Each structure stands twice: as C-alpha cells, then as structure tokens.
Amino acid sequence: MSTPIQPKKNVHTISLLVANKPGVLVRIALMFARRSYNIDSLVVSPSFNEKFSRMTITAQGDLQTLEQIIKQANKLIDVIHASEHNNADAVHNELALMKIKFTPANKPIILKLLKKSNASVIDTTGNIMVISQAGTTPELDELEAALKKYHLIEMVRTGKVAMARGHDET
C-alpha cells in the first residue's frame, strides 16, 4: 500500500534579487546559518541584467525566524530585494534527473509511468536510462516515490525556482 506524499512542514520559498558580485552568497548563507535555519535548496542564476543575479532558496524553520531572515536579507546592501513566495502568488518549478536500471520486463511499465508524469528519457546506455522531469516539487516527489520501487540508482534535483504571477515582481 502506498502512502501519499506529505508536503514538508515549515518549508518556505524565498526569492532574492542580488548584486552579481563575489561574496554575496556567503553573506546570505551566513544569515541563515546564524539563525539555525537549514537551507534545503538554493538556485543562483543570472538575471536579464548582468549586474544582478536571481536566487531562489527553500528553507525550513519557523515563521517568526523567517520574517527576521527576510528583513535581515533586505538590509544587506548587495540584496536588491528579498521576499517569500507561496503557491498563491507565484509559480514554482524544478528539474530532476534520475538514473534507473531497467529490465525488458519492467521497461514498458516505467515508460508508462514517465508518460503519466510528463517525464522523458534523455539517455539510454545499456540497461540504464536517464530520466528528465520538470515540474512542481510534489510532482517530482511523486515520480521519485514511484520509481523507487524499481532500481533507482541516482537522482539530482536542481532545487526550486519561483516566479511571481502576473504583474508582480519576483
């Protein structure tokens, strides 16, 4: 019997626009560490403007500490702005690569699962395939759980990226 995937408690998604300079990541990481806030995932990528970078951080902890972290982040001179995003005001996505060993017998079942989950095979070498899936965190969690029943060898996930809906700035 399979148990439904439970969303993690107290997980927050924080989006930051920061100066594209050395040391900025350290300043931000220090703020989390000092307040015992564990970072689950962190994505840094260029923005349209080469002077700035985007950061999306998912982290676990209580709400009051989160509020303090966002305020302290906004105080950093290298942070242009920092804010929390939820599902209502933003869309989230991440990408996973999964490596799985298949047999002629289970291959059709796996492929069926992938089709259902909007995932695709991007490499097959011998009896090992690499699967790519983009989607929301629960979608990725769900496929991961399903594939664990087979011979899942490795998994790499990018961590969540977020973008505010409509006219709102991320």
* Binding footprint of another protein on the chain (CB under 8 A): 18-19, 22-23, 26-27, 30, 34, 64, 67-68, 71-72, 74-81
Q: Hunting for tokens 């302290």 — which residue is that?
A: 72
Helix (H) or strand (E) holding 25: helix 24-34
Cβ proximity to another protein: between 55 and 131 the closer is 55
3-state secondary structure of 54: strand
- In the complex, what is the shortest distance from the CB of residue 115 to another protein, in angstroms, rounded to a whole number? 45
Cβ proximity to another protein: between 34 and 115 the closer is 34
Cβ proximity to another protein: between 62 and 154 the closer is 62
- In the complex, what is the shortest distance from the CB of residue 41 to another protein, in angstroms, rounded to a whole number? 22
Tell me the C-alpha distance between 160 and 45, whole Å. Answer: 12
Burial state string for 26-36 with b = 16 or more CB within 10 A and e = fewer than 16: ebbeebbeeee
- In the complex, what is the shortest distance from the CB of residue 65 to another protein, in angstroms, rounded to a whole number? 10
